Amino acid sequence: MTIIILTQCPTGLRGFLTRWLMEISPGVFIGGPSARIREALWREVRQYAGTGRALLAYTTNNEQGFTFETWDHKWHPVDHEGVTLIRRPKERPAVSATPPPSGWSKASKRRRYGKR
């Protein structure tokens, strides 16, 4: 089983993938091509994705039963003791340059302005 998910990719790429996979939702493709075809499709996706993002997931013989690859995602797969996990970047809250007005509680100031 192979799943490819496209986000903000050209429509021509979506049309190309429908030759081999079924589009079950906009940008979500599923099918059972051979490993050779899957690798060829993934090469095409990486080449023609443009500024979009892509995710490939497929079944394999490991502890999880599947593996996945990403293209131009902020979240990246990381191997942790044989199990593939997703590492998300830590988002920092925006810190305001203006001081908080008087009369606010300390907790409210921390929540709003990110000061500790």
Return the CATH class of domain 2-87.
alpha beta
**Domain ranges across the chain:** 2-87
Give 10: exposed, middle or buried? Use CB within 10 Å, 0-12, 13-18, 19+. Answer: middle
Q: Is the pLDDT of residue 116 over 60?
A: no
Q: Which residues, at least 6 apart from 102, have a Cβ–Cβ distance to it below 8 Å?
A: none
Residue pair 2/32 in contact by the 8 Å Cβ criterion = yes
CA distance 29 to 88: 24
Residues 65-89: pLDDT tens digits?
888 888 887 888 888 888 888 888 8
* pTM of the shown model: 0.72
Chain segment 31-63, per-residue pLDDT in tens: 999 999 999 999 999 999 988 999 999 999 888
DSSP annotation of 34: -
Element (H, E) at 77: strand 76-80
